[in-house]
Chains A and B, each alone.
Chain A
């Protein structure tokens, strides 16, 4: 099974900062990676799929990159409404797997 490792597990940054979250797959998954945002007390929301395609309605300050085993989610200018836990997910093969999540807070 493919294992997904996210880092860091949490981070604190100032409004306007550039924030980067990484996700590493235990084996190559091409670009079969999605990112989800889960705000406190809310359900997960799809942000990005196919590693870099923004879901409709997602602000352009979010971007994704990577292929193979190493992927990144970048928030170009952190906003207060971006406080959330971010999860990556591989869909290259079954079973589907999520990373452990990265909690983003405002400093």
Chain B
């Protein structure tokens, strides 16, 4: 069974940094692209970032480009999102999601999410 478990969310002040993580199990992690998607309560989904199976192809939403960095550790079977220069509008539930293939496309499994709140 595919499992994705996010952690590391919390309350952070504007301008500060935070790293969130996603531990995976139940599939061969190093064969699949992975993503971060966020959702503000009561609102739609916003794709944040994705990377290919080998981490060489990395893409970001315009809203986070230059501030967020996605990475993966195949040994630890984990996905990360380093977020810097955080803004109140980054407040959201952040989901880790598995791609169906090796390069970013559509998402066939999702974690439960970790909540990030940016406020002074």
Residues of A within 8 A of B (CB): 1, 32, 34, 36, 38, 43-46, 49, 55, 85, 87, 89, 91, 94-101
Contact = CB atoms under 8 A, between A and B. Distances in A.
Given A43-B111, A91-B106, A49 B100 contact: yes
A46 B107 contact: yes
B11 interface: no
A38 B112 CA distance: 12
Contacts of A100: 44
The size bracket of the interface on B is 20 to 34
Interface in B22-36: 35
A5 to B, nearest CB: 11
Interface stretch (B13-21, B54-62, B81-89): B54-62
Contacts of B35: 96
B59 A44 contact: no
A43 B104 contact: no
Contact of B47 (A38, A46, A85, A95): A95
Given A89-B107, A95-B60, A98-B44, 11 more contacts: A36-B45, A43-B95, A44-B107, A44-B110, A46-B100, A46-B108, A49-B100, A49-B106, A96-B50, A96-B104, A100-B44
Nearest to B59: A94
B106 A46 contact: yes
B24 to A, nearest CB: 15
25 contacts: A1-B62, A32-B105, A34-B106, A44-B45, A44-B110, A46-B106, A49-B106, A91-B104, A91-B106, A94-B50, A95-B60, A95-B61, A95-B62, A96-B35, A96-B50, A96-B59, A98-B37, A98-B44, A98-B45, A98-B46, A98-B47, A99-B44, A100-B44, A101-B44, A101-B45
